[in-house]
């Protein structure tokens, strides 16, 4: 006789190749603590409403506890014929407590059971990711506070544009990860909805108390529609979308660290403990961590596209295709979690070459806009000022000098309104301090942003 819970309908056993092809146990076995926790709550609810006795419930709960310990200590045998973690636990429970185990599945289906376990897993994973991102935000604030007087070039089109504070640069990533936290927090609200009790798709005839089960499992709400409860994967799509955006931010900072650590930039040195060497070139120190995070970003994008494609044409309600949601989900959770963790370890240990950054900010005519602003302050229309400075830059290029290295007489050849005080306007300190518009790089603005961030991160 087959050991399948659905074997009554079939005249012959399942082919071994089908068992291997349909098995998901090597993937979904990591849901075991959530499956057992959900089963215990379901069992308690069945006893509360009188579907099973309290004695039966106690036997089942004790048996599930023993199975949990077996799984925790890797003392559990897996078999493809049992398909998934849910059937493995049920079969083992039957061995452990006898026929009373056959009552556990009353008033539920694997459809709502797997939806429950997936939501519980993602609820915990999202909480860990939010905590990790908040720790990373704290590190960025600490770095900003440490580099309030470090000037570097700001870039557009990867060309030197205007000087900014390195602290301002760190705080830009703080804002990105802050938005990520908000997105994950928002998606968590829709993840934290209990589907159990929807059964296969239509609900159940048993007098279950879904609200009680939800309270036991710390769900603030229950799924309102049984069809939607078992077929909804929007909550995973939302998480993967938020994760994809978050990995964009990791990829951007990774690209900058790769560039900054190159000999061409030499703005930073990555810690030896977070770098690798070459198998053939003894002098090499490779930025493998930022490169790998940048590379793994593509895998997260792929996981999102996998699930979007998987769900795009599925009719209601549950379809076996949905079994393929978990490899994508688990992959993204692992990649994002490890990226957060390794960046939190690596960033505080980066060496900043302040002098190199300052020299880079002092060359390349980064004070051209400030010269134009000076002319505007003298009554010259901005478009005209822009043209004047452009000609001055062209002249300086020909002389092999920066704007502030030209003489007053040379500068006055482009506009008679220029006076000696222009040289104060063209210093790095003046350029930074004058950018007082909200969100600008002036030191007092950045200090205020740091103070706000510290307040936001205070529990």
CA 49, 53, 57, 58 dihedral sign is: positive
- Taking CA atoms, 195 is separated from 116, 201, 347, in Å, by 6, 10, 41
3-state SS assignment for residue 429:
helix
* Residue 414 structure tokens: 């482009």
Distance CA 249, CA 226 (A): 37
With residues binned 3-state (H G I as helix, E B as strand, rest as coil), the percentages for the chain, rounded to 5, are 65, 5, 30
* Residue 390 structure tokens: 């452009």
Distance CA 302, CA 204 (A): 37
Distance CA 263, CA 255 (A): 15
Question: Quick check: is 157 catalytic?
Answer: yes
- CB neighbour class for 356 (10 Å; exposed up to 12, middle 13-18, buried from 19): middle
Q: Looking at 157, 407, 416, 437, which residue is catalytic?
A: 157
Q: Looking at 131, 221, 278, 363, which residue is catalytic?
A: 278
DSSP at 286: B
Ramachandran region, residue 155 (left: φ > 0; alpha: ψ -120 to 50; beta: rest):
beta
Question: Quick check: is 279 catalytic?
Answer: no
Catalytic residue numbers, as ranges: 157, 278
């Amino acid at each position: 006789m087959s050991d399948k819970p659905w074997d009554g309908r079939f005249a012959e056993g399942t082919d071994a190749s089908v068992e291997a092809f349909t098995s998901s146990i090597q993937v979904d076995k990591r849901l075991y603590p959530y499956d057992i926790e959900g089963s215990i709550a379901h069992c308690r609810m069945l006893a509360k409403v009188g579907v099973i006795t309290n004695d039966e419930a106690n036997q089942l709960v004790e048996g599930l506890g023993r199975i949990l310990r077996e799984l925790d200590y890797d003392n559990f045998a897996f078999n493809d014929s049992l398909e998934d973690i849910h059937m493995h636990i049920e079969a083992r429970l039957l061995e452990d407590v006898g026929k009373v185990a056959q009552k556990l599945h009353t008033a539920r289906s694997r459809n709502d059971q797997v939806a429950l376990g997936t939501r519980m897993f993602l609820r915990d994973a999202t909480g860990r990711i939010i905590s990790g991102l908040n720790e990373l935000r704290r590190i960025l604030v600490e770095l900003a506070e440490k580099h309030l007087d470090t000037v570097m070039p700001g870039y557009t089109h990867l060309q030197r544009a205007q000087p900014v504070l390195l602290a301002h640069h760190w705080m830009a990533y703080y804002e990105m990860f802050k938005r990520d936290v908000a997105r994950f927090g928002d998606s968590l609200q829709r993840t934290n909805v209990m589907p159990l009790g929807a059964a296969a798709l239509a609900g159940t005839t048993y007098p279950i108390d879904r609200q009680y089960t939800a309270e036991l499992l710390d769900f603030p709400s229950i799924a309102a529609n049984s069809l939607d409860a078992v077929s909804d994967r929007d909550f995973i799509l939302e998480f993967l979308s938020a994760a994809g955006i978050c990995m964009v931010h990791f990829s951007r900072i990774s690209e900058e660290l790769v560039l900054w650590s190159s000999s061409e930039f030499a703005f930073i040195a990555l810690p030896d403990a977070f770098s690798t060497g070459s198998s053939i070139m003894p002098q090499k120190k490779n930025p493998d961590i930022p490169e790998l995070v940048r590379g793994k970003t593509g895998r997260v994008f792929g996981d999102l596209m996998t699930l979007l494609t998987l769900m795009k044409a599925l009719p209601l309600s549950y379809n076996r295709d949905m079994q393929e949601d978990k490899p994508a989900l688990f992959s993204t959770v692992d990649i994002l979690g490890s990226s957060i963790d390794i960046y939190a370890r690596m960033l505080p240990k980066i060496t900043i070459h302040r002098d190199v950054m300052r020299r880079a900010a002092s060359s390349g005519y980064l004070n051209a806009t400030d010269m134009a602003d000076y002319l505007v302050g003298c009554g010259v229309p901005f478009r005209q000022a822009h043209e004047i400075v452009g000609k001055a830059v062209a002249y300086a290029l020909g002389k092999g000098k920066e704007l502030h290295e030209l003489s007053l007489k040379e500068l006055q050849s482009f506009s008679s309104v220029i006076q000696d005080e222009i040289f104060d306007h063209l210093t790095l300190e003046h350029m930074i301090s004058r950018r007082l518009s909200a969100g600008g790089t002036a030191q007092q603005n950045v200090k205020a942003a740091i103070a706000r961030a510290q307040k936001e991160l205070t529990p």
